[in-house]
Structure 1
Amino acid sequence: MQQTPGLDPNMNFITCLLLFLAARPKRWELISMGMVAAVLLACFGIRREPWQAVLQVLSYGGAGGLVTVLLLPYLSRHFDWKLVGKLVFPPAFGTLTSVLLAATVSGVTYDNLLYAFDGALGFQPDFWAGRVILQIPGMSVSARFLYEALPLFLATAYVSGGCAARNMIAFLVLLGLCGAICFRLFPAVGSVYLYPDAFPFNPPALSSISLVPQSVTVAAPRNCMPSLHCAWAIAFLWTSRRFSRI
């Protein structure tokens, strides 16, 4: 059955919602946010899956908060540039990331070299992780949620961490820029695209792998080396240790 068209549950806009509520909006601002969210809901609908529906409604609320903040000069004499910057940053950064990734969807990849390196460790970590995710009930949904929810965790740290959190966000942006450069220097799409018939249960023998750059016909971002989500998560955990001291 075809799904109702609508905005995908977007963690960037849910992040906007968190930042908007953390600013302690006035009652009329909450009403404005709700009205915009209701319009989006009426225009774009909602998905049938319960957990996706919840995320989608929250994303509509975040979009409503962003619109409300942008309309503040017209609705009142108060205009908070800092709040505007906070709410604009998540969707703007997400859009910029999408544009940068879209520029890497073609060309050769070095996945064979990565596969050979992993094989030198005695096993293929990505194949093993793929099997775990597929075989444990609920793991696929949980992994997907945690992958997409990283902006929400970062926003939570930003709200609660003060100056240290702002420094952390700047560090994470710097990591993102460095990662984008590395994607161009060492393009890789991952074994799921390189070996679609074998992943994740039948890793090819190392003897069958040619250690040369390889063309992959699928239009997938070459963004596996390095893993920015892994780098961001490690940086978040490392820097968040300071929050309890603030």
Structure 2
Amino acid sequence: MLIHDAPGSPPPPAEPTGAARPRDRRVTAAWCGIAAAVLVLVAGELVAAHIDALGPLTSLAWDYVGRPKSATTPWAGFLLALVGVATRVRVIALAAAVGIDLIFVIIRAIEGRLFTVGNGPTIVLTALAVLAAWQWSGERRRTALRAIAFGALLILATKVGEIWLDITAWACPTVLDPYAELADHALGNPSWVVGHLLDLAGPVPLGVVRWVYFELPVAAIVVAVWQLRNVTAGVWPRHHLVRTFLALGLIGPLWYVVFPVVGPVLAFGPQGHGLELADVWPDIVPPLPFSVGPMPFDDITPRNCMPSLHTAWALSLFIHSRRGPLWLRVGGAFWLVCTLIATLGLGAHYGVDLVAGAALCLTVESALREPDRGWDNHRVRVVALGVVTFATTLLSTRYLAPTMADYPVLSGLALLGLLSALAITFYLTWFAPTRKSAKAERALVSSTPR
């Protein structure tokens, strides 16, 4: 201190600014996230080697130089990443990805292998990440890397999800389908009803809902790109669809090992490979049994029904499309309706799976929306009601299934009433006109000089 106070001495060094500390924390968080992703990928690869399955790192390597397991996911992640770069870079990157994919397609055709795409976007996305990290700077670099991170997370989460599905089959030798089918009597056995109607409708409606069911990432990217369309101008939304999708993909699959279910088309239908209880789906509803218990199943079929993540993702897509233009709102509603029809009509889920998936979506969405608002009484109320609805669905299906089948009207009204209460509370908390007025009033108060 005395030296700096002496005449002619240089001024003291500047103290670190407040802006530097948050930036350092963001850098630290980014490196921690990268380390966590690498750890999960390596752990998944080791588990895959143990259970003789396709590991996430191997699957990722196929996206670069082999035959991608999914043609949609690499392109979905790549298109999401492009929202963070300038138009000129988007055009060049898109052309490069299409060109590389075309080369791989020609090589596969010459060698007589099956057609697929996905190598090009994976390679170009990696090159784009390296370019942004090493060549760009400032806000341009931060925006690009943030969007690239979202795209890469979408791809990596899918890779990890694939090995997790294999783990559910390996870790759960028995499944709880008899309980789910019995509890579904309270909902009118919707999988049998919708499956039968879809058979009567013919190949065109069946083809439409099947495509919608398997190409959910296409609609998700459309909504996400619309929400993130202004990020290159520095306008990042505080909450968007990608956050909800990733959170649901992280939380939902954990319940597959708690409540393993394979679906009616496998447990009660023609695709059970001899392990089904009866080949009756969707023509005949099984009669009420004298007793109920877990049933054994093979060690390769994923136990990925409870909760229905297709329902959760489609519902989140519908919710996030509500603030968009008319074409986006119509598309979101169409995708939700077709997904619900497909989950039941294709025999992939029971009705109770859909109830649990909807409850999970509304709970996670309520926990993530409007982060600046904090955990006030309204958020706590809707999240608590969502947890109660989700837990009630699983517990009643597991321990009260015979009672639900014996008293279907009362049980169905109770279960659907609880879900309806959650949906109404969610709407009143986040979308009702009074909610918008209160939000505007808080913004006015916060902007008033004091």
Fold conserved between structures, TM > 0.5: yes
Give matches, 1:229-244, under 5 Å.
229-243=310-324
Whether the aligned pair in 1 keeps the contact of 2:77 and 2:154 (CA below 8 Å) is: yes
Counterpart of 1:72? 131
SS of residue paired to 2:125: helix
Candidates 8, 13, 22, aligned match of 2:74:
13
8 A Cα contact 1:147 1:229, kept in partner: yes
Counterpart of 2:106 in structure 1 is 42
Question: 2:255 matched to which residue of 1?
Answer: 182
Q: 1:64 to 1:130 in 2, by over 3 A?
A: farther
- Alignment TM-score, normalising by the size of structure 1: 0.78
Alignment of 1:107-186 (within 5 A): 107-121=173-187, 123-135=188-200, 136-162=202-228, 163-164=236-237, 166-186=239-259
CA separation of 1:111/1:164 partners in 2, compared to 1, >3 Å: closer, same or farther?
farther
Unaligned 5+ runs, structure 2:
1-65, 229-235, 270-278, 326-435, 437-450
Contact 1:37 1:64 in 2 (8 A): no
Q: Find the residue that maps to 1:241 and give its secondary structure.
A: coil
Contact 1:113 1:212 in 2 (8 A): yes
Question: What is the Cα deviation at residue 241 of structure 1?
Answer: 1.9
In 2, the alpha carbon distance for the partners of 1:179 and 1:16 equals 20
Q: Does the aligned pair in 1 maintain the 2:177–2:263 contact within 8 Å?
A: yes
CA distance 1:36–1:29, change in 2 (3 Å): same
Asked if structure 2 preserves the Cα contact closer than 8 Å seen for 1:183 and 1:224, the reply is yes
| TM-aligned CA deviation for residue 65 of structure 1 | 3.8
| Distance of aligned partners of 1:230 and 1:13 in 2 relative to their CA distance in 1, 3 Å threshold | same
Secondary structure class of the residue paired with 1:104: helix
Give the aligned partner of residue 102 of structure 1: 166
d(CA) in 2 for partners of 1:89 and 1:179? 16
Number of aligned positions between the proteins: 231
Displacement, 1:30? 4.0
Give the distance between the partners of 1:31 and 1:182, measured in 2 at CA: 41
Structure 1 counterpart of 2:255, which letter? Answer: C
Superposed CA offset, 1:26-57 (max 9, x none)? 354344323311222123349xxxxx97xx45
In the other structure, the counterpart of 2:42 is none
**Contiguous gaps of at least 5 residues in structure 1:** 47-51
Alignment-mate amino acid for residue 240 of structure 2: N
> Which residue number in structure 1 is paired with residue 148 of structure 2?
84
Counterpart of 2:193 in structure 1: which amino acid? W
Distance 1:199 1:218 in 2: 22
Which letter does structure 2 place at the counterpart of 1:12?
T
SS at match of 2:255: helix
SS of equivalent residue, structure 1 residue 187:
coil
Q: Give the alignment's TM-score, normalised by structure 2.
A: 0.45
Distance in 1 (alpha carbons) for counterparts of 2:148 and 2:319: 28
Q: Distance in 2 between matches of 1:44 and 1:184?
A: 38
CA contact (8 A) 1:131 1:201 kept: yes
Aligned partner of residue 201 in structure 1, secondary structure: coil
Distance in 2 (CA, whole Å) between partners of 1:62 and 1:237 is 27
- Once superposed, what is the RMSD of the aligned Cα atoms? 3.2
Identity %: 23
Distance 1:193 1:113 in 2: 14
Structure-1 separation of matches of 2:178 and 2:237: 40
CA distance in 1, matches of 2:98, 2:126: 11
Q: Which amino acid aligns with 2:185?
A: G
Equivalent residues of 1:158, 1:166 under 8 A apart: no
Q: Partner residue of 1:207?
A: 289
Deviates more, 1:230-239 or 1:131-140: 131-140
Deviates more, 1:141-150 or 1:65-74: 65-74
- Distance in 2 (CA, whole Å) between partners of 1:71 and 1:18 is 17
* 1:49 corresponding residue in structure 2: none
The 1:166–1:25 alpha-carbon spacing in structure 2 relative to 1, beyond 3 Å, is farther
| Deviates most, 138-147 or 19-28 | 19-28
Decide whether the 8 Å contact of 1:19 with 1:86 is kept in 2: yes
